């Protein structure tokens, strides 16, 4: 039953790519395949593969990684990932696709693994244990009363951003607000939450990552790129987040 669920989930993943392939071959850890690169797993957790990024190609929604595992080089595809050469990536389940053509890259991959549930954090040694959520920055679920910060020229409000998030996906935006939470040095980034007093339904708190510093209570203006459905692993994901932000 777990295998069937994994295959169905991965199939939905691939369908959403809106790209085509000539042949699809199922793969899941523990199942024999004709590719020896999939027969090796990490030393610490037998259910996970540990690969190192040698090259990467970014598209609007997905990241293509040329990786190495146990002296074998191969391509994998994951949902949009903030990665760089030399990073470590861990994954458990994937689908092998032959002669896969990426329309956005205008490139055919002779063989590529479409990976689900990837993470940059090493899995625990217990195969059934969850990734430690304490490594991820906590979310803010309370709207702070008394905050009224208007957008600067060329900027947008938090309510407008969430209401029209599809319109802003992948684009740079300027947003102003009051800092209500700061988590520095997580995954080599600073995670900052701002609110401006506006909201779209229950969406009133905006999270962004940056290399800049900010203090609780500061009124700031940021500029960064909007990402939707960003998954950082450990069951921690954002419907909307701003990355590579600069505090102006």
Write the pLDDT tens digit of every residue in 43-81. Answer: 444 567 889 999 999 988 889 999 998 889 999 998 888
Residue 123's pLDDT is what?
65
Question: What does the alpha-carbon distance between residue 142 and residue 189 come to, in Å, rounded to a whole number?
Answer: 23
Query: What is the average pLDDT value for the chain, to the nearest integer?
Result: 78
**What is the pTM assigned to this prediction?**
0.47
Determine the average pLDDT of the residues in 71-100: 88
Confidence of residue 221 (pLDDT cuts 50, 70, 90): very high
Domains and CATH numbers, the chain: 10-129 (2.40.50), 135-247 (2.40.50.140)
| pLDDT tens-digit map of 113-156 | 988 777 777 766 444 444 444 445 556 778 888 999 999 999 99
CA geometry: angle at 102 spanning 101 and 106, to 5°? Answer: 95
Question: What does the alpha-carbon distance between residue 172 and residue 65 come to, in Å, rounded to a whole number?
Answer: 24
Question: What does the alpha-carbon distance between residue 90 and residue 51 come to, in Å, rounded to a whole number?
Answer: 6
Long-range contacts of 166-174 (CB under 8 A, 24+ apart): 166/228, 168/226, 169/226, 169/227, 169/228, 170/60, 170/225, 170/226, 170/227, 171/225, 171/226, 172/223, 172/224, 172/225, 172/226, 173/223, 173/224, 173/226, 173/242, 174/221, 174/222, 174/223, 174/248
């Amino acid at each position: 039953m777990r295998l069937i669920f994994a295959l169905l989930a991965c199939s939905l993943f691939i369908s959403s790519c809106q790209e085509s392939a000539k042949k699809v071959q199922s793969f899941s850890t523990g199942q024999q395949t004709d590719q020896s690169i999939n027969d090796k797993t990490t030393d610490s957790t037998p259910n996970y593969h540990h690969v190192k990024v040698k090259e990467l190609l970014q598209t609007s929604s997905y990241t293509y990684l040329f990786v190495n595992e146990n002296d074998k080089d191969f391509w994998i595809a994951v949902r949009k990932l903030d990665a760089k050469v030399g990073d470590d990536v861990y994954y458990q389940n994937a689908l092998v696709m032959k002669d896969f053509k990426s329309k956005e890259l205008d490139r055919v991959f002779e063989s590529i693994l479409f990976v689900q549930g990837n993470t940059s954090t090493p899995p625990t040694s217990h195969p059934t244990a969850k990734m430690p959520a304490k490594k991820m920055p906590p979310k803010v679920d309370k709207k702070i009363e008394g905050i009224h910060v208007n957008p600067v020229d060329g900027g947008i409000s938090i309510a407008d951003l969430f209401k029209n998030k599809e319109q802003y996906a992948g684009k740079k935006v300027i947003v102003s607000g009051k800092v209500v939470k700061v988590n520095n040095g997580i995954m080599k980034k600073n995670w900052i939450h701002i609110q401006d007093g506006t909201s779209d339904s229950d969406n009133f708190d905006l999270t962004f990552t940056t290399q800049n510093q900010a203090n609780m209570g500061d009124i700031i203006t940021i500029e960064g790129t909007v990402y939707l459905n960003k998954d950082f692993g450990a069951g921690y994901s954002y419907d909307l987040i701003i990355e590579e932000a600069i505090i102006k």
